[in-house]
Amino acid sequence: MTHRSKSSHVGSCLSICEILYCLYFKVMNIDPHDPHKIDRDKFILSKGHGSAALYATLAERGFFPKDKLEGFYMDHGTLPGHLDMQAVDGIEASAGSLGHGLSLGLGMAIANKCDSNPGRIFVLLGDGECNEGSVWEAVMLAATLRLQNLTAIVDMNGLQGFGRTCEVIDQTNMTERWAAFGWEVHEADGHDMGQLEKVFGFHQKGPKAIIAKTVKGKGVCFMEDRLEWHYKSPNDEQCESALRELDGKS
């Protein structure tokens, strides 16, 4: 998709694929044939630049035909580069400007609690996005309200737009930071399905944060842990090589 449209953020997408698969195929109560059912679980991709991964997951899950993916991030295309909830079924919130997704999820969680709606809310943030002050405003209120229906996942891949996250703002104490604000916190390998299912399955008495240790560009050797793949799109040769490697044929 990013090769076809010559667009950015393929590295950011590859760091969250297993998390999305786990949520949409193992964890969440959703129905692609009834995408607006009242008691559904909802997912918000706060790091909206990872849109290609979410679009692909929704297509695989049956929310819309896969041929729509061919219109990703193009002029007059069908799928905007940053998420638009009007584009296709399954997108619960528009996203792109960082720092807003958790507040949106917080509002949804409060509404569900007020309505006695069993639907849960899951929000995926980037570790660099956690530099935003608005994230921590939502964290404080969620803990105060002890929202058992809210889960945040931090894609801890160690890179953001201008460098290593810990060189921009030190993130080494991410787990302790969320815990200090009153959240139940669990760490997991963000590429290990067994670990992810386990931490998503833990009973929670309040809001839960999962610190998912990931690798930007996971699965493609020349992209892994490389800052430039926050921005680059693969050329013909790189795309062919990446697809071979992901298929286990390299």
Distance from C-alpha of 211 to C-alpha of 250, rounded to nearest angstrom: 31
Domain count along the chain: 1
Distance from C-alpha of 184 to C-alpha of 115, rounded to nearest angstrom: 24
* Tens of pLDDT, residues 79-132: 999 999 999 999 999 998 999 999 999 999 999 999 999 999 999 999 999 999
* Tens of pLDDT, residues 52-63: 999 999 999 999
For residue 155, what is the enclosing H or E element? strand 150-156
Average pLDDT of 21-47?
A: 98
Distance from C-alpha of 110 to C-alpha of 248, rounded to nearest angstrom: 44
Taking the whole predicted model, whether its pTM rises above 0.95 is answered as yes
Distance from C-alpha of 105 to C-alpha of 45, rounded to nearest angstrom: 10
* Tens of pLDDT, residues 221-231: 999 999 999 99
Residue 200 gets the label, from left (phi > 0), alpha (psi -120 to 50) or beta, of alpha
Q: Sign of the CA dihedral 53, 152, 231, 79?
A: positive
Please determine, for residue 183, whether its predicted confidence score (pLDDT) is greater than 60: yes
Please determine, for residue 182, whether its predicted confidence score (pLDDT) is greater than 60: yes
Average pLDDT of 8-16?
A: 96
Average pLDDT of 161-165?
A: 90
Q: Please name every residue paired with 164 in a beta bridge, in sequence order, or none if there are none.
A: 159
CATH of the domain at 191: 3.40.50.970
* Tens of pLDDT, residues 187-216: 999 999 999 999 999 999 999 999 999 999
Structural domain for 39, as ranges: 2-246
Please determine, for residue 165, whether its predicted confidence score (pLDDT) is greater than 60: yes
Coil, helix or strand at residue 211: strand
Cβ atoms of 163 and 227 within 8 Å: the answer is: yes
Which amino acid, 128?
A: G
Sequence-distant (6+) residues with CB within 8 A of 11 are 159, 216, 217, 223, 226, 229, 230
Please determine, for residue 250, whether its predicted confidence score (pLDDT) is greater than 60: no
